[in-house]
C-alpha cells in the first residue's frame, strides 16, 4: 500500500488525540509548553498512525515530553536517547522515531552519542531544546551558555567557549539541519514537518525560553520590536533579506558574508540566494552566530540551513543482512558462539 493510500484510510486525528491525561509538569511560562503544542498540532498531518510514532527522551526538563504525547515513548537515561533510538530504528525501521533532548542532555553527557547518530544517518528526528542553561538541576551553565554566564556553578562567570549546535551537527555530516524558536508557532510547525519529511537524520535546534533560570535568553530574536532586525528567515531559492522594512540583505564577497542596506545603494540582485542543498554555503550560514550585543553583528538565521542525501544506516544494515543470508544461509547460533576453533579435552 502506498503512503497516500495509508493516509486515505487513517482515521481523522486532531491535536487532542496526541494529548495524554497526564498533568503537564513544567514551570508556568516555560517554552516547552509551546513546543509540545506545536508537535501535537503537526502529528495529525504527517500521515503516520499513532501506534507507529515513538518519542524517546533522555534526562532534563524537555525529556518529560513522552509523558505528554499519546504515542509510544520512552524516558531513557541521561544523554543516551540517541543510542536507544538508534537501536529501535535498526530493529523497527518502519517506525517514526523522534528524539527529544536538551542542550545539556544532548551536547554534554550525550554529545558523543549525538554526533555518531548524525554521522550514521539513521532516519530519525532530533529535537534539541536549547535554553542555554541546565533547568532541571536548577540553573547551572550548559554547553551552550555564553561566556561570563553567572550561574550557581559559575558564580564569577563561565570561562567555557559555548557550542554552536548547528555547526557541530554539520561537522558530524548531518543530512538535515534547521533552527526554529518556541515563540514562532507557525515557523516551528513548518520546521517540524520538514524534519519529518526528510529521509535521514534531521537535527532541529529549537530556542526555548527557561523563564526561571535563564529568562529572556533569546528575547532579541523573539520579541516584535527586535525580531525583524535580528532574525533572518531562510527560504530556499530566495535572497537573504531581513529588517522591519525588508531593507537589509546579505551578499557574499567571495566567501565572506556582508550586510548591505537596500535603501543606500545596495541591490537586491546582488544578494545571496539561499540554496538548502549547498553544503559549502551552509557552513558559512551556521557561523553567523555572533553575540547580538556586539556592534556590527550579523542577524541570526532561522529555517533550513542544509538538506542533503545519504544512505540511512538501517537500510544499509538490512541489505547487508539479506546479502549475508543469501550467500551463507541463515546461520547457526550455537556454531557462531563456539567459533571456528574448538578444542576437545581428553
pLDDT for 20-32, tens place per residue?
Answer: 999 999 999 999 9
Nearest one of 52, 94, 44 to 71, comparing CA atoms: 52
pLDDT for position 333:
87
Average confidence (pLDDT) over 195-220: 97
286 three-state secondary structure: helix
Q: Which residue has the higher pLDDT, 340 or 151?
A: 151
The answer to whether the beta carbons of residues 141 and 153 sit under 8 Å apart is yes
Burial 22-50 (b: 16+ CB within 10 A, else e): eeeebeeebbbbbbbbbbbbbbbeeebeb
Mean pLDDT for the chain overall: 94
Pairing of strands 72-75, 96-102: unpaired
**Over 70: is that where the pLDDT of 1 sits?**
no
Which pLDDT band, with edges at 50, 70 and 90, does 9 fall under?
Answer: low
The answer to whether the beta carbons of residues 266 and 288 sit under 8 Å apart is no
User: How many helices (H) and strands (E) in the chain?
Assistant: 13, 11
pLDDT for position 337:
84
**Over 70: is that where the pLDDT of 5 sits?**
no
Average confidence (pLDDT) over 311-332: 94
Which pLDDT band, with edges at 50, 70 and 90, does 3 fall under?
Answer: low
Question: How far is it, in rounded angstroms, from Cα 262 to Cα 249?
Answer: 7
Cell representation of residue 309 = 542525501
Cell representation of residue 204 = 532541529
Task: Phi first, then psi: give them for residue 46, nearest 5 degrees.
Answer: -85, -10
pLDDT for position 132:
97
The answer to whether the beta carbons of residues 296 and 174 sit under 8 Å apart is no
Average confidence (pLDDT) over 167-181: 98
pLDDT for position 342:
75
8-state DSSP, 30: -
Cell representation of residue 28 = 508556568
Own/partner contacts of 337-340, CB < 8 Å, gap of 24 or more, are none
What is the percent of the chain where pLDDT is above 70? 97
What is the percent of the chain where pLDDT is above 90? 88
Give residue-wise pLDDT tens across range 146-164.
999 999 999 999 999 999 9
Give residue-wise pLDDT tens across range 265-309.
889 999 999 999 999 999 999 999 999 989 999 999 999 999 999
Distances (CA, A) of 111 to 35, 87, 122: 22, 17, 16
In the chain, beta strands by DSSP E: 53-57, 72-75, 96-102, 125-130, 176-181, 202-207, 231-233, 241-242, 248-253, 256-261, 300-307
> For residue 118, with 0-12 CB atoms within 10 Å meaning exposed, 13-18 middle and 19 or more buried, which class applies?
buried
Question: How far is it, in rounded angstroms, from Cα 128 to Cα 125?
Answer: 10
Question: How far is it, in rounded angstroms, from Cα 131 to Cα 35?
Answer: 13
Give residue-wise pLDDT tens across range 98-130.
999 999 999 999 999 999 999 999 999 999 999
pLDDT for position 249:
97
pLDDT for position 8:
55
pTM greater than the 0.95 cutoff: no
**Over 80: is that where the pLDDT of 223 sits?**
yes
**Over 70: is that where the pLDDT of 10 sits?**
no
pLDDT for position 266:
84
Which pLDDT band, with edges at 50, 70 and 90, does 87 fall under?
Answer: very high
Residues near 179 by beta carbon (within 8 Å), at least 6 away in sequence:
166, 191, 204, 205, 206, 207, 301, 302, 303, 305
Average confidence (pLDDT) over 181-197: 98
Q: Which residue has the higher pLDDT, 1 or 90?
A: 90
The answer to whether the beta carbons of residues 235 and 274 sit under 8 Å apart is yes
Cell representation of residue 106 = 544532548
Task: Phi first, then psi: give them for residue 160, nearest 5 degrees.
Answer: -75, 140
Amino acid at each position: 500500500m502506498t503512503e497516500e493510500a495509508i493516509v486515505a484510510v487513517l482515521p481523522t486525528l486532531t491535536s487532542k488525540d496526541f494529548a495524554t491525561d497526564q498533568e503537564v509538569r513544567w514551570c508556568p511560562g516555560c517554552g516547552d509548553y509551546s513546543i509540545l503544542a506545536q508537535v501535537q498540532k503537526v502529528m495529525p498531518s504527517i500521515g503516520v498512525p499513532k501506534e507507529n510514532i515513538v518519542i524517546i527522551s533522555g534526562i532534563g526538563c524537555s525529556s518529560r515530553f513522552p509523558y505528554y504525547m499519546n504515542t509510544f515513548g520512552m524516558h531513557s537515561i541521561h544523554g543516551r536517547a540517541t543510542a536507544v533510538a538508534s537501536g529501535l530504528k535498526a530493529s523497527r525501521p518502519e517506525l517514526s522515531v523522534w528524539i527529544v533532548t536538551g542542550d545539556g542532555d544532548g551536547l554534554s553527557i550525550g554529545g558523543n552519542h549525538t554526533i555518531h547518530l548524525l554521522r550514521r544517518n539513521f532516519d530519525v528526528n532530533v529535537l534539541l531544546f536549547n535554553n542555554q542553561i541546565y533547568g532541571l538541576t536548577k540553573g547551572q551553565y550548559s554547553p551552550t551558555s555564553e561566556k561570563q554566564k553567572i550561574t550557581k556553578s559559575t558564580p564569577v562567570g563561565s570561562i567555557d567557549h559555548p557550542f554552536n549546535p548547528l555547526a557541530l551537527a554539520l561537522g558530524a555530516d548531518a543530512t538535515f539541519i534547521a533552527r526554529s524558536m518556541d515563540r514562532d508557532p507557525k515557523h516551528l510547525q513548518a520546521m517540524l514537518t520538514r524534519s519529518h519529511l526528510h529521509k535521514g537524520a534531521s537535527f532541529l535546534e529549537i530556542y526555548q525560553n527557561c523563564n526561571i533560570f535563564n529568562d529572556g535568553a533569546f528575547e532579541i530574536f523573539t520579541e516584535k520590536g527586535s525580531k525583524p532586525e535580528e532574525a533572518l528567515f531562510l527560504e530556499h531559492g530566495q535572497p537573504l533579506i531581513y529588517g522591519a522594512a525588508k531593507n537589509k540583505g546579505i551578499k557574499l564577497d567571495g566567501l565572506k558574508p556582508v550586510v548591505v542596506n537596500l535603501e543606500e545603494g545596495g541591490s537586491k540582485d546582488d544578494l545571496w540566494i539561499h540554496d538548502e542543498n549547498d553544503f559549502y554555503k551552509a557552513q558559512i550560514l551556521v557561523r553567523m552566530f555572533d553575540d547580538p550585543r556586539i556592534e556590527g553583528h550579523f542577524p541570526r538565521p532561522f529555517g533550513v540551513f542544509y538538506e542533503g542525501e545519504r544512505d540511512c544506516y538501517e537500510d544499509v544494515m538490512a541489505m547487508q543482512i539479506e546479502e549475508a543470508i543469501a550467500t551463507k544461509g541463515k546461520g547457526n547460533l550455537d556454531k557462531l558462539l563456539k567459533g571456528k576453533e574448538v578444542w576437545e579435552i581428553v
